[in-house]
Amino acid sequence: MVSKTDDIPASVPNCNPVDLADEAGDGAQDSKETSKTHLKDSCGCGHSADTAMVNGDGAHERTEEEDSKQDGNSEADGGDESNEQEVIVIQDTGFNVKIQAPGTEPFDLQVSPQEMVQEIHQVLMDREDTCHRTCFSLQLDGNVLDNFAELKSIEGLQEGSLLKVVEEPYTVREARIHVRHIRDLLKSLDPSDSYNGVDCNSLSFLSIFTDGDLGDSDKRKKKGNELEQIDCTPPEHILPGSKDRPLVPLQPPNKDWKQPMQCLKVLTMSGWNPPPGNRKMHGDLMYLCMVTVEERHVSVTASTRGFYLNQSVNISTSSTTYTFNPKPANPSFLSHSLVELLSQISPAFKKNFTALQKKRVQRHPFERIATPFQVYSWTAPQVDHAMDCVRAEDAYTSRLGYEEHIPGQTRDWNEELQTTRELPRKNLPERLLRERAIFKVHSDFAAAATRGAMAVIDGNVMAINPGEETRMQMFIWNNIFFSLGFDVRDHYRELGGDAAAHVAPTNDLNGVRAYGAVDVEGLYTLGTVVVDYRGYRVTAQSIIPGILEREQEQSVIYGSIDFGKTVVSHSKYLELLEKTSRPLKVQRHNVLNEKSESVELCSSVECKGIIGNDGRHYILDLLRTFPPDLNFLPVDGEELSPESRRQGFPRQHRHRLACLRQELIEAFVEHRYLLFMKMAALQLMQQKANREAKANIPAITETAEAPSESSADTTQTRTTASDSPSATEASTDSNASAASQAATAGEENSSRPATNGLVEPAATLNGERKSPLEGKELEESIPGLAQAKELAETLVAEDGSCIDPKSREVVLNACKAVGSISNTSFDIRFNPDIFSPGVRFPDDSADDIQKQKQLLKDAAAFLVSCQIPSLVKDCLDHSALPMDGASLTEALRQRGINIRYLGTVLEFVDKTPAKAQLEHFYRIGISELITRCAKHIFKTYLQAVELSALSAAVSHFLNCFLSSFPDAVAHLPPDELVSRRKSRKRRNRVPGGGDNTAWASLTPNELWKNIASEAKSYYHFTIQCESVDQVVEKYGFQKTTLLREISLKTGIQILIKEYNFDSRHKPAFTEEDILNIFPVVKHVNPKASDAFHFFQSGQAKVQQGFLKEGCELINEALNLFNNVYGAMHVEICACLRLLARLNYIMGDHAEALSNQQKAVLMSERVLGIEHPNTIQEYMHLSLYCFANGQLSTALKLLYRARYLMLLVSGEDHPEMALLDSNIGLVLHGVMEYDLSLRFLENALTINTKYHGPRSLKVALSHHLVARVYESKAEFRSALQHEKEGYTIYKNQMGETHEKTKESSEFLKYLTQQAVALQRTMNEIYKNGSNASITPLKFTAPSMASVLEQLNIINGIIFIPLSQKDLENLKAEVQRRQQLQELGKLEEPTEDRPLELEDKIPID
């Protein structure tokens, strides 16, 4: 299970494993055999795709295009490293130009015609030999090139042109930029920006484990490949069974960070700035003071011509006397760059600066490029605070955006956000440009909004209504509007007060995301970011032009400002919203206004339409875009369906804004579509079979009116996750009582409607063994599919004119049964205003409203009776593998289950018969529930704390939450620091207030009581625990894991050290341990649609076995992703992972390493160093390292992955079995048998627990253990394990199966070896020292055999196929395709890589 950020990234669309194969002669084998590959990729959509593949021909060639674009370190990719992160690709070929910079040799640079001149600037500012220049122009034949011109538009620029770098005179702006750039170069290896979470820096530790030897084969050749040199012993805490969970190894020491090479002691702005008029007229721009490493104090004047030493001097070092004289000293060392000046006056600077730049350039570009959104680290070491003039200046000048770099000062965010949406999108280059602009503005806006929200809560922004109470204040900063998540003016009184006001912004954000994804021209939403910081929720929005000048009543021309008492509508809005109604499943409906007149709407009443002064149609307040969730909305006189009631619904919730998720709506509609198809099919058959007895038909429709009691128990199947923007993972459960007679259990169709109309079918391989007849049975078991298909096609005509009356009647019945709003085609939409207090409907729509109410009840029941069981089933068959709270949340949300159902999900797990196999899921669920309750309490706790006591309050809370110390006492700040509140009553503008030391009285006992009552009232789940130690004991938690979860949820950053949680004598945390508190930010993630489609097609090709074509498509997708997102993004990470896997399968191990290395670095930087994704990426990388012969690196990477896994979820997790099998195999390969056994036996235990003792995974585990015992010559133990394995194979696969035969051969061999050993021993006993001993064969495992086993456990299996098999396979594939076209064949896939053999007959 790979989890993702805030909203589902397009990580892996549609990964429907389709088993297809084409004939391919592979040079590596003889012409009769082709290598068949099995690829299991936990591909990011939450389930592992078991996909069969075939190596296409030419598996070993790489396309040239890929060569030129994928080499991350090549100069050509320079643009990739620039701050602009703009890498341009569109089929145009690049060309080379020569660059001549002052004082360096001319060098070649590869550029592309799309690049701007500015990008060459960026490359030069990053290159080792030209990095110190910032103020220059590029000239071609004496003509200065325009910075913003595209290269293709420049006359005379061609292959081999010479561009000269010409130094330009400075201005104040340029001088500042220069100083800032020099400071960045000096700090380039300093990680403090990453710890402090600024400027989109984040941490990465991969290079520490690889020692930079990835792919540097020359280095390795020198080292040789001798095994003796490898030290394989892991640290004690990584060994199986160790209870120690240290925190310090999370951030291993980096030697570059430890002793950074000091180039300069101090560089600051002088207090004598700005230059007086007479000096300004001599060209002075500003003055700097520096102290060199040699302790020389120098004063520098920055002038238009460059930098020079001036005559200011300290008369004596002891006194403070300082004479200021800005005139040039003699010699003045006038230089165009500070680096040149300093190199002349400080030898140490010269030496260290050169070394520093060498190191900087050696780092992988992905370690230094900025990420698109800020990633915060929850741990950091104690960093010494150093003097930094640029940082100081930034903090105290009102640097809002980078406005000194942008003409026109502050940015008009609204204008930028809307203008980028209006860019043309007719062809690919236009769309790329548009998406890139949208993405860039969004990430800038998110960063600015976050900074502003923190400034608001810290009290640094003046309110626009300063006279009102703090909770009611609103703020404007940097053209962004900020409001606090409190119920102002009793706006939400009916809906739950502050609780509703807290949840409204996130609901609104989901609405903005949904409308943004539909992307209707002419309809505009506001830029929206929700920030949680220091216990407050702040909503940041871009400002509609003109809205501040007029009253809201005048502005709103559509919707309602008082929750439906007064309602207005507008024809233009209806027309625009109509376009969104189908994709968002919103029904057009009428409501009554205050005069009881009927008003037509196409959204909820809260959704307001305002035309801005710019003439654009804006919609805002989208908090009810999706229909209400009746399970959490008790309504008098309404009864829920039996499935919901059985689970104890409806339940009282804190607010009345509980909505269904978009994913659930999609899944529900898809489920209904299936029902519709089945009913139609069933009726068509009945008509055909029984023209006379038409009387039966109505009977059928009645039974299917609502899913009946019995239906809840029919089998559920899941469709594979299709993470497309429109549909997230949908699980279907064909419990249409009438229709389930037509489909036999376990073989149900399912499909993914793109809109509600046409369907894209998807076929998958079945996990169970089936006879070759399976397909034919299927056709018979879902009768009428062909007619249903024809019917569906005619329905798309929608007018129904071409259908004969009988078919029309069938459609009508089916439409009624599934609740479609149309009688001639399938179309389900929801009315979001049903059950909204204050909304009244006209009498003539009573029937409609009744239908809508029923539909909502059905959807609520569907969540409880289908989605939750399907989630649990996916966890049972390991197609969903949550590792931590975030990935669990992700798994729930993908299936449309809101987090408020967490208690219900856990109760369901508790009642599941196979509860033991869900222990990991249950544990993660309980820990998520507890930390979320703690977060709720922490939120209100923090609001009462004033800034000076923040670290004391946070450490006190953590002590109460995690420390075993029974009477944690808070340290109040000393009296003189507690402000005299009375004199400041009016001035205290920080929101909140109240008694400022109330937080100090919290006790551990009280906190845990509160957590238990919160769990009961919010999640309806009972936790019987009074203290952290009881919880840890009862549920098997680790306190470090709880600490990580609570820190990530609340934004706390703690000092990285070993905490003694279990001491009964002193608290675990002191206030010095709390380093920072960061915001938790939610925002929209704009998508790269074209790249995404390429990625999808690439995956489809790969799944059909066309590896080479798939590889090319995915490379193209990668280029387009780079083009839109810049170099760093989660989706690029998924792309690189898949590419690496393809490279590996096609035999290009070096390329696989390079791509996977990028994937690991990117995952660390964009998701976090211990994110579950990152752990998986480390595992993939270690496999490719092993295949490349880098054994010690492979082991280091696996040990790192195991450490992270232990920290994040502990040892007891199914994924740990895979990790330990990997470690055990590598150790076996380097002949560390005893260590190897510890890991392999642990894997065997975990596999047995989570897959059941009869599983094929367990058989393989037994075999791996037996192999190690054999290498140790302990044949008795080896025999014992191999026999276990053999028994499983025999029972599961039968005597004749390949695996069973292999196992029985191995048993024979072991028995012979054991007998031979016994003979030898007897011989020795009998004859003593003169015994004649036949030498025994002790086999050290060959690397090839170890690699083969590694491939198998990681789900990559190469199986030789004979020509006959290939023919059979092709026939099977074609048959499947036909079937797929006929019906929507969809069977549950199991996540068992071993079973591929079952599906392919092998001679």
pLDDT 10s digits, 949-988: 999 999 999 999 999 988 878 777 665 444 444 444 444 4
d(CA 766, CA 363): 46
d(CA 187, CA 800): 70
| Mean pLDDT score, 632-654 | 92
| Mean pLDDT score, 903-929 | 95
| Mean pLDDT score, 873-893 | 94
Helices (H), 944-1003: 950-962
- 832 Cβ contact list (under 8 Å, min separation 6): 586, 603, 604, 624, 625, 626, 627, 628
C-alpha dist (Å) from residue 1279 to 1243, 1264, 1274, 1314, 1315: 19, 12, 9, 9, 12
pLDDT higher than 50, residue 924: yes
Comparing C-alpha atoms, which of 860, 862, 863 is closest to residue 635? 860
| Mean pLDDT score, 903-923 | 94
Which residues is 536 bridged to in the sheet?
533
Which residues is 619 bridged to in the sheet?
609
In whole angstroms, what separates CA 283 from the centre of its chain?
52
- 975 Cβ contact list (under 8 Å, min separation 6): none
- Are 309 and 345 a contacting pair, CB within 8 Å? yes
Task: For 369-387, write each residue's pLDDT tens digit.
Answer: 899 999 999 999 987 777 7
Q: Regarding beta strands 1052-1055 and 379-380, do their DSSP bridges make them parallel or antiparallel, or are they unpaired?
A: parallel
pLDDT at 1007: 95
d(CA 90, CA 161): 22
Q: Please, is 323 exposed, middle or buried when counting C-beta atoms within 10 Å of its C-beta (0-12, 13-18, 19+)?
A: exposed
Task: Count CB-CB contacts under 10 A for residue 359.
Answer: 14
Which residues is 38 bridged to in the sheet?
52, 1357
| Mean pLDDT score, 780-806 | 54
pLDDT at 124: 92
pLDDT at 837: 84
d(CA 413, CA 478): 9
pLDDT at 210: 86
pLDDT higher than 50, residue 1070: yes
Greater pLDDT, 265 or 1140: 1140
d(CA 820, CA 679): 13
Comparing C-alpha atoms, which of 1055, 1054, 1056, 1048 is closest to residue 1081? 1048
Q: pLDDT tier at 1220 (50, 70, 90 boundaries)? A: very high
pLDDT at 684: 85
> How is 442-466 classified by DSSP, letter by letter?
HHHHHHHHHHHHHHHHTT-S-BSST
- Tokens read off for 1290: 């025999």
In whole angstroms, what separates CA 958 from the centre of its chain?
28
Which residues is 732 bridged to in the sheet?
717
d(CA 1027, CA 1008): 6
Q: pLDDT tier at 659 (50, 70, 90 boundaries)? A: very high
- 904 Cβ contact list (under 8 Å, min separation 6): 647, 864, 868, 1020
d(CA 1272, CA 1263): 14
d(CA 612, CA 752): 39
Q: pLDDT tier at 50 (50, 70, 90 boundaries)? A: very low
Report the b/e string of 398-427 with b at 16+ CB within 10 A. eebbeeeeeeeeebebbbbbbebbeeebee
Mean pLDDT of the chain: 80
pLDDT higher than 80, residue 51: no
> What DSSP designation does 905 have?
H
Instruction: Tokens 């098997």: give the residue.
Output: 1036
Greater pLDDT, 774 or 262: 262
- Tokens read off for 879: 């197609």
| Mean pLDDT score, 1299-1304 | 92
Task: For 675-685, write each residue's pLDDT tens digit.
Answer: 999 988 888 88
- Tokens read off for 817: 């049964």
Instruction: Tokens 């209904």: give the residue.
Output: 672
Task: Count CB-CB contacts under 10 A for residue 388.
Answer: 18
Task: Count CB-CB contacts under 10 A for residue 1054.
Answer: 21
> What DSSP designation does 116 have?
B
Report the b/e string of 943-980 with b at 16+ CB within 10 A. bbbbeebbbbbbbbbbbbbbbbbeebebebbeeeeeee
Comparing C-alpha atoms, which of 499, 509, 522 is closest to residue 449? 509
> How is 784-798 classified by DSSP, letter by letter?
THHHHHHHHHHHTT-
- Tokens read off for 657: 């804004």
- Are 664 and 730 a contacting pair, CB within 8 Å? no
Instruction: Tokens 């060209």: give the residue.
Output: 283
Let me know how long the chain is.
1403
1039-1050 vs 885-894: helix crossing angle, rounded to 10 = 60
Sequence-separated contacts (24+) of 456-460 with Cβ below 8 Å: 456/482, 456/484, 456/538, 457/533, 457/534, 457/536, 457/538, 457/990, 457/991, 458/534, 458/947, 458/990, 459/947, 459/989, 459/990
User: Residues of the chain with pLDDT > 70: what percent?
Assistant: 76
pLDDT at 1369: 65
pLDDT at 1332: 63
pLDDT at 78: 35
| Mean pLDDT score, 203-223 | 67
Task: For 719-747, write each residue's pLDDT tens digit.
Answer: 333 333 333 333 333 333 333 333 333 33
d(CA 615, CA 1062): 63
Task: For 484-506, write each residue's pLDDT tens digit.
Answer: 999 887 888 888 899 999 999 99
pLDDT higher than 90, residue 19: no
Mean pLDDT is lowest, of 6-10, 336-340, 617-621, for 6-10
In whole angstroms, what separates CA 604 from the centre of its chain?
31
Which residues is 290 bridged to in the sheet?
267, 298
556-558, strands of its sheet edge to edge: 523-524, 617-620, 608-611, 556-558
Task: For 670-722, write each residue's pLDDT tens digit.
Answer: 999 999 999 888 888 888 887 755 455 454 444 333 333 333 333 333 333 33
pLDDT at 982: 42
- Are 753 and 726 a contacting pair, CB within 8 Å? no
Task: For 1087-1112, write each residue's pLDDT tens digit.
Answer: 999 999 999 999 999 988 888 899 99
Identify whether 725 is preceded by a cis peptide bond (ω within 30 of 0): no
Task: For 1379-1391, write each residue's pLDDT tens digit.
Answer: 666 544 343 333 3
Backbone angles phi, psi at 625, to 5 degrees: -60, -35
| Mean pLDDT score, 54-67 | 36
pLDDT higher than 90, residue 939: yes
Task: Count CB-CB contacts under 10 A for residue 378.
Answer: 23
Comparing C-alpha atoms, which of 585, 903, 1012, 874 is closest to residue 757? 585
pLDDT at 720: 36
- Are 95 and 77 a contacting pair, CB within 8 Å? no
Q: Please, is 1169 exposed, middle or buried when counting C-beta atoms within 10 Å of its C-beta (0-12, 13-18, 19+)?
A: buried
Q: pLDDT tier at 23 (50, 70, 90 boundaries)? A: very low
- Tokens read off for 1010: 């509160």
E strand segments, 787-829: none
Comparing C-alpha atoms, which of 1245, 1250, 1235, 1244 is closest to residue 1264? 1244
Instruction: Tokens 């990625």: give the residue.
Output: 1095
Q: pLDDT tier at 129 (50, 70, 90 boundaries)? A: confident
Secondary structure of 728-759 as H, E, C letters: CCCEECCCCCCHHHCCCCCCCECEEECCCCCE
Q: Regarding beta strands 731-732 and 717-718, do their DSSP bridges make them parallel or antiparallel, or are they unpaired?
A: antiparallel
- Are 1203 and 239 a contacting pair, CB within 8 Å? no
Task: For 284-339, write each residue's pLDDT tens digit.
Answer: 999 999 989 898 899 999 999 999 999 987 654 444 567 888 999 988 899 999 99
pLDDT at 408: 47
- Compute the half-sphere exposure of residue 1206: CA atoms within 13 Å on the CB side of its CA: 21
- Are 707 and 720 a contacting pair, CB within 8 Å? no
pLDDT at 1358: 64
pLDDT at 1153: 94
Cα angle: 1072, vertex 1073, 1078; to 5 degrees: 110
> What DSSP designation does 1388 have?
P
pLDDT at 1165: 95
Comparing C-alpha atoms, which of 200, 204, 193, 198 is closest to residue 254? 204
pLDDT at 713: 37
Instruction: Tokens 């592992």: give the residue.
Output: 48
Task: For 742-767, write each residue's pLDDT tens digit.
Answer: 333 333 333 333 333 333 333 333 33
